[in-house]
Amino acid sequence: MATPSVDNTDANATTDANATTDANANATTDDGSARTGTRRFADGVRLALTTFTIARLRPGRVDRSAAAVAMAVAPAVGLALGALVGGAGLGLRALGAPALLAAAGCVGLAVVLTRGLHVDGLADTVDGLGSYRSPERALEIMKKPDVGPFGVAAIGLTLLIQAAAGAALLGRAWPAALAGFAAAAGTGRLAAAWACRRGIPAARPDGLGALVAGVVRAPVLVAGAALVLAAALPAVPGRPWQGPVAVLIGLAAALILVRHAVHRLGGITGDVLGACVELAASVAFLVLALG
């Protein structure tokens, strides 16, 4: 019987060692990729919370990959924020507060929990677009710290609509009221995510708009929309269709604003995103309150 040569034995051993080394390298790469993905997701969630709420968290990595995650989870953050605000309103109602007063408290709490960034963005966007100046001049107007008459009117009308509609929602059974507030807030953040879809440019080379413009892919947008639509189903007792319709109309209103901003300014900015949040949420509130 032939006996394997020493050369063949050494070659086989070397091959086995190389295979083991490759396997270990692949395992290390996979583990590193998993850790990188987990870290990216954590950074994105942190960015979403610090962008859309008053939460103060340990700073993480801020880049476009984190921004993509942040905008992807924005609708979920909005749903949670809306449920919290709605719960506060129900608590005020349980203490005997009239519906309108409780709703005004909800609107005030929402402004506090978002540091007023979204209403500020709304005012700046309305002032800039309402100036009918060149894109460069309009962007300069939006960067100014003062608020013009258009901006003041927009803030006042928006908060009034939200308070009046919120009062109607607080007159319903608590599950419907919570669903209504969650759906409206979720619609606002869903609109922000859609404003950052692929193909939408930034109006400036820096700032929040440049960070998030074009980072959200279509499947993520569809998933976010499905989440908010499902949450809206119980918002109007006896009319399960009305909640999702409110979400879609609010989203459509925000997309019209985005299209106009791209046409007038050349793209989106952080202020435009704030305006999308407030416009979509207000329209959703209004439709939810009907009937």
Domain boundaries, the chain: 64-289
Q: Of all residues in the chain, what percent are helix, strand and coil, respectively (each to 5)?
A: 80, 0, 20
Whether the CB-CB separation of 130 and 202 falls below 8 Å is answered with no
Q: Is the pLDDT of residue 259 over 90?
A: yes
Q: In this structure, what DSSP letter does residue 234 have?
A: G
Query: What digits encode the pLDDT tens for the residues 43-82?
Result: 889 999 988 889 888 777 889 999 999 999 999 999 999 9
pTM: 0.86
Q: How many helices (H) and strands (E) does the chain have?
A: 11, 0
Which of residues 39 and 202 earns the better pLDDT score?
Answer: 202
- How far apart CA 161 and CA 283 sit, in angstroms, is 9
Cα angle: 217, vertex 120, 163; to 5 degrees: 95
Q: Is the pLDDT of residue 84 over 90?
A: yes
Alpha-helix residue ranges (DSSP H) falling in 149-217 = 149-170, 174-195, 207-212
